[in-house]
Amino acid sequence: EVQLFESGGGLVQPGGSLRLSCAASGFAFRDYAMSWVRQAPGKGLHWVSSISGSGGDTYYADSVKGRFTISRDNSQNTLYMEVNSLRAEDTAIYYCAKGGESGHYGDFDYWGQGSLVTVSS
Amino acid sequence: DIQMTQSPSSLSASLGDRVTITCRASQGIRNYLAWFQQKPGKAPRSLVYAASSLRSGVPSKFSASGSGTDFTLIISSLQPEDFATYYCQQYYTYPFTFGPGTKVHIK
């Protein structure tokens, strides 16, 4: 059974940093692209970033480029997102999502339960 | 960026009703279209990929179709567990973008 479990969220001041983690199990982690998608409270879904199975290719939404860094440790079956220079508008639930069998990075077949990041002074 | 729109934004329906949700892309996305269901306080659940392929375990009361710019999700007979918000998403090109969602309410 595929399981994704995010952690690392919390309350942070504007300009602060966090590292989000997503622990994966139930599939061959290194064989699949992974992504982060966020959802502001009461709002819709927004793609944030994706990374290839090897970790060699990364992609970002313009709104986070230069501030967020996606990475993965295939030996630990864990996906990360380093989030820096946080702004109020980054407040959201951050979901990790697994790439589907199609191989397309944006084909999300499984999602974690999410980790809430709140940016506030 | 490719803009995704959905209609209606919300709908009220009764148990057993057939429900149709439409999604339109601002430019052609071939069949790189997914549908998700999200219940309050829960993570999204993947229903459909490649515009018309149901994920494993998704009941056959869900069907989807479309290609290019216009797509449809149909729930053939609404059941209590189907009351949720439904999102479409294009993965034809970066940035991947989602529709604003369609909230299905109980009438």
**Could you read off the pLDDT tens digit of each residue along chain B, which spans 107 residues?**
999 999 999 999 999 999 999 999 999 999 999 999 999 999 999 999 999 999 999 999 999 999 999 999 999 999 999 999 999 999 999 999 999 999 999 88
Closest residue in chain A to residue B54, using alpha carbons only: A109
Q: Are A9 and A96 in contact (CB under 8 A)?
A: no
The residue among A43, A44, A93, A83 whose CA lies nearest residue A63 is A83
Digit-coded pLDDT (tens) for B80-92:
999 999 999 999 9
Digit-coded pLDDT (tens) for A69-119:
999 999 999 999 999 999 999 999 999 999 998 889 999 999 999 999 999
User: In this predicted structure, what is the pLDDT of residue B106?
Assistant: 86
User: In this predicted structure, what is the pLDDT of residue B107?
Assistant: 86
Q: Distance between CA atoms of A116 and A94, rounded to whole angstroms?
A: 6
User: In this predicted structure, what is the pLDDT of residue A24?
Assistant: 98
Question: In this complex, is the C-beta atom of A106 within 8 Å of any C-beta atom belonging to chain B?
Answer: yes
Q: Distance between CA atoms of A55 and B75, rounded to whole angstroms?
A: 38
User: In this predicted structure, what is the pLDDT of residue B22?
Assistant: 98
The strand pair at B85-90 and B45-49 is best described as unpaired
User: In this predicted structure, what is the pLDDT of residue A14?
Assistant: 98
Residue A19: is its pLDDT beyond 90? yes
Closest residue in chain B to residue A64, using alpha carbons only: B95
Question: In this complex, is the C-beta atom of A5 within 8 Å of any C-beta atom belonging to chain B?
Answer: no
| Mean pLDDT along residues A50-68 | 97
Reduce the DSSP state of residue A95 to 3 states and report it: strand
Neighbouring CB atoms inside 10 A of A8's CB total 16
